[in-house]
Structure 1
Amino acid sequence: MFTLLPDALSPFCAALLGLLAVLLVGRYCLPSNRHPPLPPGPKTTWFDTARLPKEYQWLTYAGWKEIYGDVIYIRVLGNPMIILNAAEAVNDLFDKRSTNYSSRPVRTMVNELMGFSWLFSSMPYTPWWRKHRAVFQQHYKASNLPSFKPVILRETYMLLYNLAEGQDDLFHHVRRSAAAIVMMLSYGHQIAPEGDIYVTIADKALSGLGQAGIFGTYLVDYLTFLKYIPAWFPGASFKRQALEWRHMNQLMLNAPFEMVKQKMAAGKAVPCFLTDQLDRIFMSDADTSKEEQLIKNVAATVYAAGADTTVSAILSFFLAMQMHPEVQVLAQKQIDQVVGSDRLPSFDDRDDLPYVDCIVWECLRWNPVTPLGLARQVAADDVYRGFHIPKGTTILPNVWAILHDENMYPDPYRFNPDRFSNKAQNATLGINELPNAAFGFGRRTCPGRALAFETIWITVAATLAVYNILKPKDEHGNTIEPDAEYTSTSLSRPKPFKCCIMPRSKEALSLVKQTLDGTV
């Protein structure tokens, strides 16, 4: 049985039904102003994050490519995110539409709580960021590389010497070598062979950056209001951890900077990036405090980016050589023919050692240092391949997936420097492009890529000239097969491994000592 509504409610009901009718007509009968559909992706509710990978995100996202394609959309706790799994999509957006895709998302955990807002590689695309990049390029541009090479050479030869003294500390020696180069170039500071207080500070600060570096690792990246929770509040361990990391990264930023200023005041500073820039400031009418902050930021960014990227690639080299002795033999044959036995390789040999180039490129491709690149943020609504990309969306370029695309890099999981040997044939077949994706894309491409490549190159050439890198043996003399396992952090590097580093001859080892002593 139906009951009529009271007369007093009839006008309200009529109005409600009328409004509903208007909405239905507008929804289905009038021309639509709706956006195109969003890209495909796994379906999640606002609170459902169970499908998101907790580690090695790049592998999960690469697997999603088979289901959803190259451009994948997912909404995480109300935050839109797109993963780009192919070079074509990345180039279309980051290169061809760079004005809209060159900014960075604000990272609540990293930038605000941990205090890494000075890291200019992660700054939004603003005039302040452009000033940082301009200052960097002024000093570290490719044309200035010849003036850096003596520093790089000396620290590379010091690495060879240190390996002879204690090969069990491979990770420490490689880390020290990379740090020594950037500390001298940026701060004019010579670190001791056994280590340095500034390097220790930076290691602790960058450890936190590696753990929090992938966007969304911490819930506060999605729910930014959580940053206001007091550190003592139950469940706010992320705040306490952030405060600890913040202390170390502020030391990393300020301590070496103040050290250079004190040396300049005492007339004992070594010419470097900071002395050049501080002299420029003192001779200008610029806002001293703001300009000092800028060059302080750039110097610390050079250390953070330069030391970590080269360390990872060089460790990949040592790991790959023991796993692929045939590559080592080919490279050493070429080095012996070009360099001979009475000196160590130098940068002047590069044109005559093309296979060393191939090894470096393959180290950068095989397991890229930043497998998920650095996140971008869309500045304005866009349409790509018929899909709507909303303003403010976070874009993740899956560098690992791009550099393991079997259509571009046949047999992509194999370490194979030969893939880059025949440039003409590769160009004809459209395969084995140089893995420049390892250095980023578009306007946010790593501005220090030339310095990084040269550092890795001379390390590879000099190491192979002096040493054989072999698989280790256990106490019973059995060969230990290495595992190519990498960390799942944003700055990925090989997990600790052992290898046997043996001098190729007594003469080669003595040549290292003679070179460092300046007798050659």
Structure 2
Amino acid sequence: MAFSSLLLVVAAAFVLGLVAISSSKRTQPKEGSRYPPGPPGKPLVGNLPDIPPKHSWLKFKEWSDQYGPIMRLNIAGRQHYVASTEKVANDLLRERGGIYSSREQLPAAVQLLSRCLRPLFWPYNDTWRDGRKLMHQVSNSTIVGNYQPTQILESARMLRDLIKDPANYEHWFERYSAGIIFRLAFGKFLQTGHEQSVHDVINVVHTVERVASPGAYLVDTFPSMLNLPQAIAPFKRELTWLHDRELKLFRKLLNDVKDEMRAGTAPECWEKDYLERKAEFPHLTEDEAAYVVGTLFEAGAGTTAAAMMSFMLAMVLHTEWFTKLQKEIDSVCGSDRLPTLDDTPRLPTMRAVVKEVLRWHPVTAGGVPHYSIKDDVYNGLFIPAGTNIHANQWAIHREPGLYPDPETFKPERWLEPSYPTYREPLTTYPNLHNYSAFGFGRRICPGQNIAERSLYLLTARIAWACDVKKARKDGVQVDPPLYDYTSGFNVQPKWFAFDLKARSDERVRVLENEIEKNERQDPLKGRV
């Protein structure tokens, strides 16, 4: 046997031996409680072979239909519970947030890639609280109104390029969302979206999504592999290199702002805000703060673009709702001006469409699991400390009692009193405030206020400026796939064809005039 093969055999035996030991140390339920039901597993590996490597939330939904709203999985000795209704998710993750607001310290994404610097994976401690305080400081509902000029300009630029080149819609949506966050976070203007700094940050986003995806690295299933010699653990070398790359990037973005502050030329941005108020965050190192701002980019740029891609898919498949959007927006704005965020209270159909898109095809369909820090009992079910709690958004948003006919795209569920999700007044509801699509409890997405406004504005402007319909091939309409989505914990529809054109030359002129006016007043133009 070759030496490399012998090493692999020894490593496998070592890992399986430790799995067998850890699997035998299962905590016994407290008196009067029991473990939740769940699919039967196999010796040593539990349910691991039954979980698909892609879109695991679909399998979780299938199991929840069989085993109930909270079920238990055993993944090679690690406890995983899946919550499949909004009530269970809120009862645990919000109402008992003191127990369920931490994260498991997974070897690949947390320890090796992030070196415990990424707030998404921080345990529930003082560092997390300072990081959350900084995030809230720059994204709370009071301050986000100051960001409207940025969102207005970037949405208009995106709309112009989408009309000129609709087949490249993925790039335009990504530049829109990235352009907003780059301005707000780092004080930089994106001209094309192909700038090296943008590529670098987006590569970091895609890397963390890949590395943190369930099953991406065997070391997450078998943490004892961290003890393997580096000679037979190439994942260590890879993840160390990826960490060094992202740390260098985040440090550079922060140091650029430092240099500009010393020169007296720094624009207002989140990095500058942190540096001026650094003493307010005693538990954050500069590297941790750089990751806080970088994480806001990770959270905002990719998810907003993905949601807009799902919006386009929904409108191509359900053109009747795009027509309703156009009629509502025309009644408010006419043809001589673009919608602004000030129009939002008078656009309930637009808000309902956005909310239904996020329900129908959620961006974080499987959710990022929370982690329990002490034993608990919920409705007679025992939840031991050290359990991963998955809020399966795919199942939560398909709960028939809350969302009748859940598989159907139905924005009317937010607009008509006959539906359980209807609320009044329609000048306020529907909205995305604390919506389950953004997560639960103390780990809810910190950028939801910015994302909500970015989605509303761009959705309204696309309907105002464009006509959208299914593509045609050889004279026949082409139906895009209903759910052909990328893998990862943030997902988006794979590229699909559709036809898009401007509604009129007059509207294009109005759009160009707005861009010209706002670009003349833009203080950041040229600051790449």
Q: Is the TM-score greater than 0.5?
A: yes
The answer to whether the aligner puts 1:412 opposite 2:410 as a matched pair is no
Give CA-to-partner distance per residue, 1:194-226, whole Å, 9 cap, x none.
422121012211212222323454221132121
The answer to whether the aligner puts 1:239 opposite 2:236 as a matched pair is yes
Which residues in structure 2 correspond to 1:292-371 (within 5 Å)? Answer: 292-371=286-365
* Structure 1 counterpart SS, 2:494: coil
Report the alpha carbon displacement of residue 33 of structure 1 after superposing the two structures with TM: 7.2
Range that drifts further, 34-43 or 180-189? 34-43
Which residues in structure 2 correspond to 1:211-222 (within 5 Å)? Answer: 211-222=210-221
Q: Which residue of 2 aligns with 1:112?
A: 111
Q: Which residue of 2 aligns with 1:16?
A: none
Q: Which residue of 2 aligns with 1:47?
A: 45
Report the alpha carbon displacement of residue 121 of structure 1 after superposing the two structures with TM: 2.5
Equivalent residue for 2:255, pick from 242, 255, 258: 258
Distance in 1 (CA, whole Å) between partners of 2:415 and 2:438 is 21
Q: Which residue of 1 aligns with 2:20?
A: none
Report the alpha carbon displacement of residue 63 of structure 1 after superposing the two structures with TM: 0.5
Report the alpha carbon displacement of residue 94 of structure 1 after superposing the two structures with TM: 1.1
- Gaps of at least 5 residues in structure 2 are 1-28, 424-428, 520-528
Report the alpha carbon displacement of residue 39 of structure 1 after superposing the two structures with TM: 1.1
Change (3 A) 1:280 1:402: same
Distance in 1 (CA, whole Å) between partners of 2:430 and 2:456 is 18
Distance in 2 (CA, whole Å) between partners of 1:286 and 1:362 is 38
Change (3 A) 1:244 1:469: farther
Amino acid at match of 2:271: L
Distance in 1 (CA, whole Å) between partners of 2:115 and 2:181 is 19
Rg comparison, structure with higher value: 1
Range that drifts further, 220-229 or 195-204? 220-229
Distance in 2 (CA, whole Å) between partners of 1:442 and 1:194 is 34
Q: Which residue of 2 aligns with 1:98?
A: 97
Distance in 2 (CA, whole Å) between partners of 1:285 and 1:454 is 28
Q: Which residue of 2 aligns with 1:395?
A: 389
* Structure 2 counterpart SS, 1:81: strand
Q: Which residue of 1 aligns with 2:7?
A: none
Distance in 1 (CA, whole Å) between partners of 2:296 and 2:518 is 32
Report the alpha carbon displacement of residue 416 of structure 1 after superposing the two structures with TM: 1.7
- What do you get for the CA RMSD once the two structures are aligned? 2.4
Contact 1:230 1:239 in 2 (8 A): no
Report the alpha carbon displacement of residue 116 of structure 1 after superposing the two structures with TM: 6.1
* Structure 2 counterpart SS, 1:471: strand
Change (3 A) 1:461 1:106: same
Contact 1:470 1:500 in 2 (8 A): yes
Report the alpha carbon displacement of residue 139 of structure 1 after superposing the two structures with TM: 2.0
Change (3 A) 1:477 1:62: same
Give CA-to-partner distance per residue, 1:253-281, whole Å, 9 cap, x none.
22322222222233322111111221233
Q: Which residue of 2 aligns with 1:175?
A: 174
Contact 2:402 2:421 in 1 (8 A): no
Change (3 A) 1:187 1:433: closer
Q: Which residue of 2 aligns with 1:10?
A: none
Distance in 1 (CA, whole Å) between partners of 2:380 and 2:397 is 26
Change (3 A) 1:428 1:149: closer
Distance in 2 (CA, whole Å) between partners of 1:179 and 1:519 is 19
Which residues in structure 2 correspond to 1:415-454 (within 5 Å)? Answer: 415-422=409-416, 426=420, 436-454=435-453
Change (3 A) 1:163 1:117: same
* Structure 2 counterpart SS, 1:268: coil
Equivalent residue for 1:482, pick from 470, 477, 480: 480
* Structure 2 counterpart SS, 1:299: helix
Equivalenced residue count is: 482
Contact 1:113 1:227 in 2 (8 A): no
Distance in 2 (CA, whole Å) between partners of 1:246 and 1:179 is 21
Which residues in structure 2 correspond to 1:276-291 (within 5 Å)? Answer: 276-281=273-278, 290-291=284-285
Give CA-to-partner distance per residue, 1:463-483, whole Å, 9 cap, x none.
110011221223x33322111
Distance in 2 (CA, whole Å) between partners of 1:449 and 1:115 is 23
* Structure 2 counterpart SS, 1:472: strand
* Structure 1 counterpart SS, 2:37: coil
TM-score by length of 2: 0.86
Distance in 2 (CA, whole Å) between partners of 1:512 and 1:144 is 27
The answer to whether the aligner puts 1:270 opposite 2:264 as a matched pair is no
TM-score by length of 1: 0.87
Contact 2:32 2:380 in 1 (8 A): no
Q: Which residue of 2 aligns with 1:62?
A: 61
Give CA-to-partner distance per residue, 1:310-339, whole Å, 9 cap, x none.
011111111111111100111100111110
* Structure 1 counterpart SS, 2:143: helix
Contact 1:94 1:102 in 2 (8 A): yes
Contact 1:58 1:400 in 2 (8 A): yes
- Gaps of at least 5 residues in structure 1 are 1-31
Distance in 1 (CA, whole Å) between partners of 2:70 and 2:431 is 23
Change (3 A) 1:57 1:191: same
Change (3 A) 1:427 1:327: closer
Distance in 2 (CA, whole Å) between partners of 1:309 and 1:297 is 18
Q: Which residue of 1 aligns with 2:467?
A: 468
The answer to whether the aligner puts 1:249 opposite 2:243 as a matched pair is no
Give CA-to-partner distance per residue, 1:263-315, whole Å, 9 cap, x none.
2233322111111221233xx5987x954234312210110000011011111
Change (3 A) 1:359 1:139: same
Q: Which residue of 2 aligns with 1:5?
A: none
Q: Which residue of 2 aligns with 1:225?
A: 224
Q: Which residue of 1 aligns with 2:22?
A: none
Report the alpha carbon displacement of residue 496 of structure 1 after superposing the two structures with TM: 1.4
* Structure 2 counterpart SS, 1:83: strand
Q: Percent identity?
A: 30
Contact 1:47 1:77 in 2 (8 A): yes
Amino acid at match of 1:481: D
Q: Which residue of 1 aligns with 2:3?
A: none
Q: Which residue of 2 aligns with 1:9?
A: none
Report the alpha carbon displacement of residue 250 of structure 1 after superposing the two structures with TM: 2.2
Report the alpha carbon displacement of residue 370 of structure 1 after superposing the two structures with TM: 0.7
Q: Which residue of 2 aligns with 1:11?
A: none
Amino acid at match of 2:57: W
Contact 2:72 2:80 in 1 (8 A): yes
Contact 1:71 1:85 in 2 (8 A): yes
Report the alpha carbon displacement of residue 343 of structure 1 after superposing the two structures with TM: 0.8
Contact 2:166 2:500 in 1 (8 A): yes
* Structure 1 counterpart SS, 2:472: coil
Contact 2:355 2:431 in 1 (8 A): yes
Contact 2:271 2:293 in 1 (8 A): yes
Distance in 2 (CA, whole Å) between partners of 1:241 and 1:277 is 31
Give CA-to-partner distance per residue, 1:321-373, whole Å, 9 cap, x none.
11111001111001111101111111111111111101110111111111111
Contact 2:402 2:420 in 1 (8 A): no
Report the alpha carbon displacement of residue 147 of structure 1 after superposing the two structures with TM: 0.6
